Chains A and B, each alone.
Chain A
Amino acid sequence: MSGRERVLGRVRRALATAPDDDTPYEQAIARGYLRRHADLGVEGTVDLLAENLADYRAIVHRCALDELPGTLGRLLELRGSRSVLVPPGLPESWLAGVATTRVDDRADDTPHALDRVDSVVTGCAVAVAETGTIVLDGSPDQGRRRITLVPDHHICVVRVPDQVVPSVPVALERLAPARPLTWISGPSATSDIELDRVEGVHGPRTLEVVLVR
């Protein structure tokens, strides 16, 4: 007998004496919880995002779209980055003010090559205000999961208010499950040593989020 038959057989025998329950899934689950926890309006939701991002030690900047190239250039310069990774679909106009050496992400790059890059700039799929989370879904302006993981400095551009949602339930509605998804809430952190929070164990130690409108 295969492992599959054995396990499924055991499941069915285990449930043989359980009371019948043919309640359809939709009715079996009480969804009395909230879709969002406060109605803050567009501005209020963006403010909450900024507040919660900062609370988990992401560095938050705000600017208008025409200021974005200058902002990105300045942030990379302040950081002292010598090289910046760029996903294939990042709008060219965003990088007009960036003097740092640009490295294009290529599928055949080794992880070691990525490890030599100082910074990465990406867009995002959606940002969740209540939790201070940005979600990347591998779209062309965000690139592969590894590029926001190996370099030590990640700048993420969030278009407000379009990409900002209030809550986790609303965020899930906007995401496609088949895409590789990464939810990021602040920089990498650990609390494994006496529950003291330390930033950056393996992921980027610095996360900067630019809210652009």
Chain B
Amino acid sequence: MSGTFVGMPAFPAAAHEAVRNPTLRGNLRHATHTIRAKRAKAVAELADWAELREAGRRIKDHTLRHLDRYLVQLEEAVTAAGGTVHWAADADEANRIVAGLVKATGETEVVKVKSMATQEIGLNEALLEEGIHAYETDLAELIVQLGDDRPSHILVPAIHRNRGEIREIFTREMREWGRPAPEGLTDTPAELAEAARLHLREKFLRAKVGISGANFMVAETGTLVVVESEGNGRMCLTLPETLISVVGIEKVVPTWRDLEVFLQTLPRSSTAERMNPYTSMWTGTTDAETADGPRVFHLVLLDNGRTDTLADDVGRQALRCIRCSACLNVCPVYERAGGHAYGSVYPGPIGAILSPQLRGTASEIDASLPYASSLCGACYEVCPVAIDIPEVLVHLRERVVQGGPVTREGNKAVLKPAKGHAAERAAMRAALWALTRPGALRTGQRLVSRTRRFHPRTLPGPGRAWSDSRDLPPVPAEPFRDWWRRTNGGRDTK
């Protein structure tokens, strides 16, 4: 298993492999069901959950509608507080900026707080090419990094690994990266966490440069917020002399007060806690007198497909996402297929709508993601900012099949219909023709009813793959409309 998503097979192929792995399915089932039940309990404690959710939705929508204004305001506030703001249109630009900033410090090692944005742009790999080692310090990210693996969940990236596998990875790999795992390490979570503590503490205490993302940025005050549990975030945000935060432009909120909504909905949706153990908030740099935290602070504002997503009337709601991962934990498809099958750092339902928008639908995997769902709607129910994921999925399916206007890297383009959907398009065209011609439809339905004794059990041609695993629905003896007319709308007979 390598650390890259490039060249991943499309979702159906990857999922097909994943569902045959009983260990993976067991780990996933245990994890998602545990957290699902806990979350429901944590949410039930708040009688005003629906109102908080609505407020969260509106704050995000309002911010997105005026995103330019709030980004400029944020830039001014961060700069006034002693920070430096950089803007990156894509992954390459962001990686270049960060590598340049690290090099300017003369350091070749950095410690990292878990960050989806830096995963998305492949920052660690880009830094390594420049001779800079980036150490992941979140326990799960450490497991993933040491195992030369990919994250499979937004919140718990190593959700696909059980304790035995983790013990094995620590024993084998820690010595390559620094302090080796203790002799006789067992697989109890407490011992494994202790091994990580000892291993990483050496890195924290000598680190001169920290790299983070952020959960929120407050335009009004220039404050950044990182929500975490282990304290590795606090270590990276506090001890180094230089802090570089790479944050997606959609993470801005207008005012300080807005945090009252998200600090209530994010922890409960995410780890199912009333509040996560640690939240750090910092505004620029602190003065020399207090010397509380990094003396140099850089904020890299990342686009990388977000403005293309913003340009889509239906799809832009995906930018409301606060990365809580509640949608993953309720999704029947994610539970069985696992995070890797989605071929992106954003797995699950949110990944199925976010990745094809951030990256476009040109690749096979991205074109397949809008189909990685049963459209059951559980993800929408559970979303703390009310993203209508099924609506966006259907919208993206339509785009994949029919093509149409899109924005890519800031430019308007017209997408061609995807290959491989010819049968679907032909069927839809036939359906449209029949449904807009009542006479033809009636004739056709009667014909089908009368010939039903001769219908095969399976479909011929391209439909065969579908009917291999499903029974064809039986055709009624009489079309509904004939029955309706004959029985006077059902009144004359049972």
User: What is the interface of chain A, defined by CB distance below 8 A to chain B?
Assistant: 2-4, 6-15, 17-18, 21, 23, 25, 28-34, 37, 52, 56, 107, 110-112, 115, 128, 130-133, 138, 144-146, 149-150, 168-169, 172, 177-196, 198, 200-204
The answer to whether B280 and A190 have CB atoms under 8 Å apart is: no
The answer to whether B307 and A10 have CB atoms under 8 Å apart is: yes
Q: In chain B between 182 and 220, which residues have their CB closer than 8 angstroms to a CB of chain A?
A: 189-190, 192-193, 196-197, 200-201, 204-206, 218, 220
Per-residue CB contact flags for chain B residues 84-109 toward chain A (1 = under 8 Å, else 0) read 00111100010001000000000000
Smallest Cβ distance from B433 to chain A, in angstroms? Answer: 32
Q: Which residue of the partner chain B has the closest CB to A202?
A: B231
* Contact A115:B274 (CB < 8 A) given known A6-B89, A192-B140, A196-B189: no
The answer to whether A11 and B290 have CB atoms under 8 Å apart is: no
Per-residue CB contact flags for chain B residues 9-38 toward chain A (1 = under 8 Å, else 0) read 000000000000000000100110011000
B149 at the A interface (CB under 8 A) = no
The answer to whether A177 and B278 have CB atoms under 8 Å apart is: no
The answer to whether A29 and B58 have CB atoms under 8 Å apart is: yes
Q: Max chain B CB contacts within 10 Å: which of A28, A181, A192? A: A192
Q: Max chain B CB contacts within 10 Å: which of A29, A115, A145, A172? A: A29
The answer to whether B278 and A32 have CB atoms under 8 Å apart is: no
The answer to whether A178 and B283 have CB atoms under 8 Å apart is: yes
Partner of A132, one of B163, B256, B275, B310: B275
For the complex of A and B, list the 10 residue pairs with the smallest distance between their C-beta atoms, beginning with the closest: A203-B231, A202-B231, A14-B311, A3-B87, A10-B307, A131-B275, A183-B279, A33-B51, A192-B140, A169-B260
Partner of B310, one of A8, A15, A186, A187: A15
> What residues on A are CB-neighbors of B292 within 8 Å?
138, 144-146, 180
The answer to whether A194 and B256 have CB atoms under 8 Å apart is: no
Q: What is the interface size of chain B, counting residues whose CB is below 8 A from a CB of the partner? A: 99
* Contact A56:B273 (CB < 8 A) given known A181-B281, A202-B235: yes
> What residues on B are CB-neighbors of A193 within 8 Å?
139, 158, 163, 166, 189, 192-193
Interface residue SS majority, chain A = loop
> What residues on A are CB-neighbors of B5 within 8 Å?
none
In the bound complex, CA of A201 to CA of B493 (Å): 71
Per-residue CB contact flags for chain B residues 46-62 toward chain A (1 = under 8 Å, else 0) read 11100110110011001
User: What is the interface of chain B, defined by CB distance below 8 A to chain A?
Assistant: 27, 30-31, 34-35, 45-48, 51-52, 54-55, 58-59, 62, 65, 67-68, 71-72, 81, 86-89, 93, 97, 137-140, 143, 156, 158, 162-163, 166, 189-190, 192-193, 196-197, 200-201, 204-206, 218, 220-221, 223, 229-232, 234-235, 237-239, 249, 254-261, 263-264, 271, 273-283, 286, 290-293, 301, 303, 307-308, 310-311, 313, 407, 410
The answer to whether A190 and B47 have CB atoms under 8 Å apart is: no
* Contact A177:B274 (CB < 8 A) given known A12-B68, A201-B139, A202-B234: no
Partner of B62, one of A29, A190, A194: A29
Q: Max chain B CB contacts within 10 Å: which of A7, A52, A56, A168? A: A7
The answer to whether A185 and B52 have CB atoms under 8 Å apart is: no
> What residues on A are CB-neighbors of B235 within 8 Å?
149, 202
Known pairs A191-B156, A201-B230; list 9 more (Cβ under 8 Å). Answer: A14-B307, A52-B274, A130-B274, A133-B275, A145-B237, A177-B281, A190-B230, A202-B231, A203-B234
The answer to whether A194 and B223 have CB atoms under 8 Å apart is: no
> What residues on A are CB-neighbors of B196 within 8 Å?
201
> What residues on B are CB-neighbors of A131 within 8 Å?
274-275
The answer to whether A32 and B307 have CB atoms under 8 Å apart is: no
> What residues on B are CB-neighbors of A13 within 8 Å?
307, 311, 407, 410
* Contact A11:B68 (CB < 8 A) given known A29-B62, A194-B31, A203-B231: yes
> What residues on B are CB-neighbors of A190 within 8 Å?
139, 193, 229-230
Smallest Cβ distance from B68 to chain A, in angstroms? Answer: 5
> What residues on B are CB-neighbors of A169 within 8 Å?
257, 260
Smallest Cβ distance from B56 to chain A, in angstroms? Answer: 9
> What residues on B are CB-neighbors of A56 within 8 Å?
273-274, 277
> What residues on A are CB-neighbors of B407 within 8 Å?
13-14
In the bound complex, CA of A109 to CA of B485 (Å): 90
- Report 7 cross-chain contacts, Cβ distance below 8 Å, ordered by A residue: A8-B87, A11-B71, A29-B258, A31-B55, A183-B281, A200-B197, A201-B231
The answer to whether A2 and B223 have CB atoms under 8 Å apart is: no
> What residues on B are CB-neighbors of A111 within 8 Å?
204-206, 239
Smallest Cβ distance from A146 to chain B, in angstroms? Answer: 5
The answer to whether B87 and A4 have CB atoms under 8 Å apart is: yes
The answer to whether A198 and B255 have CB atoms under 8 Å apart is: no
> What residues on A are CB-neighbors of B281 within 8 Å?
177, 180-183
In the bound complex, CA of A150 to CA of B200 (Å): 12
> What residues on B are CB-neighbors of A185 within 8 Å?
273-278
Smallest Cβ distance from B281 to chain A, in angstroms? Answer: 4
In the bound complex, CA of A132 to CA of B48 (Å): 19
Smallest Cβ distance from B414 to chain A, in angstroms? Answer: 15
The answer to whether A112 and B55 have CB atoms under 8 Å apart is: no
The answer to whether A15 and B68 have CB atoms under 8 Å apart is: yes
> What residues on B are CB-neighbors of A25 within 8 Å?
62, 254-255
The answer to whether B221 and A194 have CB atoms under 8 Å apart is: no
> What residues on A are CB-neighbors of B239 within 8 Å?
111, 146
In the bound complex, CA of A198 to CA of B189 (Å): 7
The answer to whether A191 and B229 have CB atoms under 8 Å apart is: yes
> What residues on A are CB-neighbors of B255 within 8 Å?
25
Smallest Cβ distance from B350 to chain A, in angstroms? Answer: 20
The answer to whether A9 and B410 have CB atoms under 8 Å apart is: yes
In the bound complex, CA of A172 to CA of B45 (Å): 20
In the bound complex, CA of A89 to CA of B368 (Å): 60
> What residues on A are CB-neighbors of B257 within 8 Å?
169, 172
> What residues on B are CB-neighbors of A191 within 8 Å?
156, 229, 271
* Contact A189:B274 (CB < 8 A) given known A7-B89, A144-B292: no
In the bound complex, CA of A184 to CA of B467 (Å): 56
The answer to whether A201 and B55 have CB atoms under 8 Å apart is: no
> What residues on A are CB-neighbors of B67 within 8 Å?
11, 15
> What residues on A are CB-neighbors of B301 within 8 Å?
7
Q: Which residue of the partner chain A has the closest CB to B167?
A: A193
In the bound complex, CA of A190 to CA of B291 (Å): 29
Q: Which residue of the partner chain A has the closest CB to B261?
A: A33
Smallest Cβ distance from A144 to chain B, in angstroms? Answer: 4
